[in-house]
Amino acid sequence: MNENKDFLAKEPIGHLLLKLALPTVAAQIINMLYNIVDRIYIGHIPGDGALALTGVGVCMPLIMIVSAFAALVGNGGAPRASIFMGQGDKAAAEKTLGNCFTVQIIISVILTTVLLLWNREFLLAFGASENTVGYGVDYMNIYALGTIFVQLTLGMNAFITAQGFAKTGMLSVMIGAAANIILDPIFIFVLGMGVRGAALATILSQAMSCIWVLAFLFGKKSFIKIHRANLKLTRSIIIPSLALGLSTFIMQSSESVISVCFNSSLLKYGGDIAVGAMTILTSVMQFAMLPLQGLGQGAQPIISYNYGARLTGRVRSAYKLLLTLSVSYAALLWLGVMIVPQAFAAMFTSDPALIAFTKHALRIYMGCMFLFGIQMACQMTFTSIGNARAAIIVAVMRKFILLLPLIYLLPRLMPSDPTTAVYMAEPAADFFAVTFTAVLFFFQFRKAMSTLEG
């Protein structure tokens, strides 16, 4: 067993999860600022704020795709690197890191080219109207240039956290987020650049984070490092990593597909104000998703390392604690949304009509959020123990089998209020998805533990 990582197998689970999860949750909350601070500032631009917010909101499917590809590589490779370290195989862990680094550069070049050439066509297909598409194009033309920084920051930072350096991972995100918060008002309001200023602030901030992440992984403090010899792709290394990351990719990229479906349906039934409200709803949803992902990322090194070391008791304890914390957080957020939805809406816009519309929609859209902690805890644990198949199944079930059809089916069943019906698709899908995931997890997790103990 790697001596440097022995603390993952010996320290008390509660203390260990607290030490690792607090920085990763903080990192995700800070990362959330990347995603929402632009919208907060843009929504308060005098005069055009509501339309600009809607235009930039329609960019979210494209931004989610960029993040999803980072997760495909990083969230697939990092758990495998942790498992290899638990098995004492440092060479395989470093080979995984090097291969994932190469793949992310290749993906970045492809995504940048596609976004620069066809962003207007994508935005119009994703629910932008002629009133709002100009704002989206202005944002994406600049944001696309920073794709490589986003890819490397999000993807490679997972390998820092996977080694147990949770505080370093948090700082990776904090550096960029702090810069973004400072640069946004300067570029948007002082220099009068509007949505283009928001995009420029974002990519400059991500570049700062990227430099920090790569400096660490090439440096002396990292247990596993990026070496030139490991950059050449090896099928036996990269294919299993991408397979394991596929569930997270599906979950995040499906958010993009679902966002397109939501926007196109809402534009049809409710117009620009309904699409604008959806921008706010997805932003508030990130208050749930990102901290829950942070909890899962904090637990991942513990579960993966001890799974690789065949310490099943510690794997079980880590999962139970992850589940308890995830459910508690999701329930508290759900309670806040139900009691004061207008407070969440007012964060993103000062338009009274949009606030009033969003208040009603928010309570519907997040109606089953209190259950979502179960979904995230189970899915993150599947990934942590290397069960790619189960992780993919639960991701596909929630988004493609349940939510996607419901977006189009419910308005037909509720023709008197089709806009509300579209929003109701989310809680309906969440309820059935959580039930399915819990049952599957019960059998698959017990089987995995029995196999290790046998």
Count of CB atoms situated within 10 Å of the CB of 296 = 27
Question: What pTM did the predictor assign?
Answer: 0.70
Give dist(CA 406, CA 215) in Å, integer: 46
Q: With contact defined as beta carbons under 8 Å apart, do 58 and 132 qualify?
A: yes
φ/ψ bin of 2: left (φ > 0), alpha (ψ from -120 to 50), beta (otherwise)? beta
Nearest residue to 53 (alpha-carbon basis) of 188, 183, 176: 188
SS (H, E, C) 186-228: HHHHHCCCHHHHHHHHHHHHHHHHHHHHHHHHHCCCCCCCCCH
Count of CB atoms situated within 10 Å of the CB of 223 = 18
- Tens-place pLDDT, residues 144-175: 999 999 999 989 999 998 888 878 888 888 89
* Residue bearing tokens 């990322």: 297
Asked whether the predicted pLDDT for residue 4 surpasses 60, the reply is no
Asked whether the predicted pLDDT for residue 46 surpasses 80, the reply is no
Give dist(CA 206, CA 37) in Å, integer: 14
- Tens-place pLDDT, residues 389-428: 898 898 889 888 999 999 999 999 999 999 999 999 999 9
Coil vs helix vs strand at 82: helix
Length in residues, the chain: 454
Give dist(CA 305, CA 185) in Å, integer: 43
**Which two structure tokens, joined as six digits, stand for 17?**
């999860």
Question: Where along the chain do its domains lie?
Answer: 3-453
State the burial class of residue 162 (Cβ atoms within 10 Å of its Cβ: 0-12, 13-18, 19+). Answer: buried
Give dist(CA 356, CA 336) in Å, integer: 17
Asked whether the predicted pLDDT for residue 2 surpasses 60, the reply is no
Q: With contact defined as beta carbons under 8 Å apart, do 405 and 422 qualify?
A: no
Q: Residue type for 162, please? A: A
Share of the chain above pLDDT 90, in %: 46
Rounded alpha-carbon distances, angstroms, from residue 414 to 89, 258, 399, 409: 57, 20, 21, 9
- Tens-place pLDDT, residues 290-318: 788 888 888 888 898 888 888 889 999 99
Count of CB atoms situated within 10 Å of the CB of 285 = 19
Asked whether the predicted pLDDT for residue 449 surpasses 80, the reply is yes
Which residues, other chains included, contact 134 with Cβ-Cβ below 8 Å and sequence gap of 6+? 55
* Residue bearing tokens 């809406």: 345
- Tens-place pLDDT, residues 188-241: 888 988 889 989 999 999 999 999 999 999 988 888 999 999 999 999 999 999
Q: What is the dihedral of CA 125, 126, 132, 134, to 10 degrees?
A: -60
Give dist(CA 189, CA 184) in Å, integer: 8
Q: With contact defined as beta carbons under 8 Å apart, do 75 and 248 qualify?
A: yes
pLDDT: is 284 or 73 the higher one? Answer: 73
Which residues, other chains included, contact 65 with Cβ-Cβ below 8 Å and sequence gap of 6+? 111, 253, 256
> Mean of the pLDDT values across residues 108-122?
94
Tell me 400's DSSP state: I
- Tens-place pLDDT, residues 353-398: 889 999 999 999 999 998 989 999 998 899 888 887 898 898 889 8
Rounded alpha-carbon distances, angstroms, from residue 264 to 129, 133, 134, 385: 10, 13, 17, 38
Give dist(CA 203, CA 226) in Å, integer: 24
Half-sphere exposure (Cβ direction) of 343: Cα atoms closer than 13 Å: 7
